[in-house]
Amino acid sequence: MAKQRHSNLRWKIAQWAEARWWKRYLAAKIPENYLAQKAAYWHRIMQETGIDIAPGSEVLDAGCGPAGINMVLSQARVSAIDPLLGHYTALPHFQAGAFPNVAFRQMALEELEAVAVFDQIFCLNVINHVADLPLSLQKLRQALKPDGTCWLSVDAHRYPILQPVFAAIPGDVLHPHQYTLSQYEAQVKRAGFSILRRQRLKPGGLFDYWIFELKRV
Tell me the pLDDT tens digit for each residue of 165-208: 666 665 566 567 889 999 999 999 999 999 999 999 999 888 89
Residue ranges of domains in the chain, CATH in brackets: 2-216 (3.40.50.150)
* Residue 162 predicted with pLDDT over 90: no
Let me know: does 137 contact 127? Beta carbons within 8 Å: yes
Let me know: does 190 contact 141? Beta carbons within 8 Å: no
Measured CA to CA in angstroms, residue 217 lies from 62, 95, 158, 186 at distances of 20, 37, 28, 14
> The dihedral of CA 122, 126, 127, 131: what is its sign?
negative
Radius of gyration of the chain (CA): 17
pTM, to two decimals: 0.88
* Residue 128 predicted with pLDDT over 50: yes
Report the pLDDT averaged over residues 146-174.
78
Report pLDDT for 168: 65
- Return the half-sphere exposure (C-beta side, CA atoms, 13 A cut-off) of residue 52: 2
Report the pLDDT averaged over residues 89-118.
95
> The dihedral of CA 147, 112, 50, 214: what is its sign?
negative
C-alpha distance across the termini of the chain, in Å: 31
